[in-house]
Amino acid sequence: MPAQENNIGNRRLRSSSISAIVSISLVLFMIGLLGLLVLDSKKITDYVKEHVQLTVFLLDDAADADIKSLQQLLARSEFTRTAQYISKQQALDSLKHDLGEDAVKMIESNPLPASIDLLLKAPYANPDSLKKIAGSISKNKIVREVSYQRTEVDRMNENFRTVAMVILIFCGLLLTIAIALINNTIRLSLFSKRFLIKSMQLVGATRGFIRKPFIGRGLINGLYGSLIACILLSGLIYLIQREMPELKQLQDWQIIGTLFISITLFGLLLSGISTLFAVNRYLRLKIDELYY
């Protein structure tokens, strides 16, 4: 009979530990997923901004030497990431490719101007900087016009601000839910041990002696949950990179490593503290209160 009771107790212990580990790992996985988005948000934002194009249209009678000089000047500018010269013929070939040969066959002469296409560095891809840059370039004697998608740039920056605010609010809500969920899971897992905790206290065991094994188990559960969450995140990152190879350049393994370490530390800290509070709660209860 005692052996059977021990087996039942061991099964309950394993079941409560598994439940705690699964809950911790799922919550940490969601936190890690959001953390990955937050940590990569600047790289994603910079990636999008660095593909904002500013086109400098040139006069038809511009001398080759003046064009080359302007291109070199723009390429050396602090705001420029790349500066590519597009000749009149290249512009026409691109139009033919987009519209088809038949659509431009009736054109007798090439009406398209030569241009220099600029891709800007991320800090300069905002409405104020673009306006100043465009105004400065327009003063050059061989420049006909400087063009960029003003409406799209305004909308892009507004969307970035909105997304950042939504992510910040969602982070706060998820963190609050995560703390409450993990804390309740650990408290429920210790509920079945409340009589054992009180019995140890009644026979003279110190509070530190009673807490030690439970906190140790809580830390182990937190470690296992963190490792499972990191494995799930690694699998998700692998799938994303396999399905969308163009996103590989946005992945920074230093950031990912920092995220995994943070998840592990957060899991250990939260699990340990929650276990400590739960054990202290049962230590403070009177014997009659254990039945409610």
**pLDDT, tens digit, for every residue of 63-82?**
888 889 988 998 998 988 88
Work out the percent of the chain whose per-residue pLDDT is above 70: 82
* 264 against 11, higher pLDDT: 264
Q: Which two tokens stand for residue 155?
A: 């909308």
Amino acid 190: pLDDT: 74
Q: Tell me the mean pLDDT in the region 165-173.
A: 76
b/e string for 47-82 if b means 16 or more Cβ within 10 A?
A: eebbebebbbbbbeebeeeebeebbeebeebebbbe
d(CA 208, CA 215): 10
What pLDDT sits at residue 257?
Answer: 84
Residue-wise pLDDT tens digits, 189-208: 777 777 777 788 788 888 88
Confidence category of residue 180, pLDDT binned at 50, 70, 90: confident
Q: In the chain, where are the structural domains located? A: 2-47+156-291, 53-148
Distance CA 272, CA 217 (A): 9
| The predicted structure's pLDDT at residue 175 | 73
Q: Is the pTM of this model over 0.75?
A: no
Confidence of residue 102 (pLDDT cuts 50, 70, 90): low
Q: What is the pLDDT of residue 126?
A: 83
State the Cα–Cα distance between residues 270 and 276, nearest whole angstrom: 10
CATH topology of domain 53-148: Alpha-Beta Plaits (3.30.70)
> To 10 degrees, what angle do helices 2-49 and 207-243 make?
40
For the ranges 40-44, 86-90, 155-159, the one whose mean pLDDT is highest:
86-90
- Looking at residue 103, its pLDDT comes to 54
The pLDDT value recorded for residue 227 is: 92
Mean pLDDT, residues 36-62 taken together = 80
